Chain A
Amino acid sequence: ETGVTQTPRHLVMGMTNKKSLKCEQHLGHNAMYWYKQSAKKPLELMFVYSLEERVENNSVPSRFSPECPNSSHLFLHLHTLQPEDSALYLCASSQGGGRYNSPLHFGNGTRLTVT
């Protein structure tokens, strides 16, 4: 149990579908992150929320839409995805981000396949 729970673990969707990824952290952290991990590429930061406010948005296509209703929950809404969006999507949390020397805690990810 990592303290960060992601659902679903696996998701297969067509290019015209709409789906959402969910992340919940039980660590009392105030920052939450979405990362994309593709084969043979470094982890790519997608979005960061601190105290429910988006503080980083890394030029991510609009077909990915994040939502952070409170400091414990983070969603990634997906619509009209492309096959190249197939990847492992990882959620992470920390206390205060890089200013407080707080380790990142990751969930086990959602393996997304776009057909």
Chain B
Amino acid sequence: KQEVTQIPAALSVPEGENLVLNCSFTDSAIYNLQWFRQDPGKGLTSLLLIQSSQREQTSGRLNASLDKSSGRSTLYIAASQPGDSATYLCAVTASGTYKYIFGTGTRLKVLA
């Protein structure tokens, strides 16, 4: 049974710092992995999707990497800003299924 873990559960950093959020999964037979952002009281916004054959994806200040064999993904945020404050979630799915398994998220606070 696939399980997704995100550590740390919460993180506070000063503005401008580069930071790394971690996601680990127990079954390496994934089809893709997605990173999402959730603002308080809102839905999730998809940030990056990494296919199982890819090693990384980049969008602006965000870079996500995937090491499928070790069951890990990281989300790198460069030059963090207060507007980056949100909860970040990762989710994985297996081939041929509609079921995405989510982690519990990392709550990020970037201090001005």
Contacts and interface: CB of A to CB of B under 8 A. Distances in A.
A42 B46 contact: no
B98 A48 contact: yes
A4 B31 contact: no
Interface in A78-110: 90, 92, 97-99, 101, 103-109
A111 B91 CA distance: 22
A105 to B, nearest CB: 7
Given A42-B4, A42-B104, A111-B41, A98 B95 contact: yes
Interface string B68-112: 000000000000000000000101011111111111100000000
A11 interface: no
A15 interface: no
Interface residues of B, number: 27
Interface in B45-67: 45-46, 49, 51
Contact of A103 (B31, B42, B46, B96): B46
Contact of B97 (A40, A41, A97): A97
A45 B100 contact: yes
Nearest to B89: A43
A45 B99 contact: yes
Given A31-B98, A99-B95, A104-B44, 10 more contacts: A2-B45, A6-B43, A33-B98, A56-B98, A90-B44, A97-B98, A98-B94, A98-B99, A103-B34, A108-B43
22 contacts: A2-B43, A4-B43, A6-B43, A31-B98, A33-B98, A42-B4, A42-B103, A43-B102, A50-B98, A90-B43, A90-B44, A98-B93, A98-B96, A98-B100, A101-B32, A103-B49, A104-B36, A104-B44, A105-B46, A106-B45, A108-B41, A108-B42
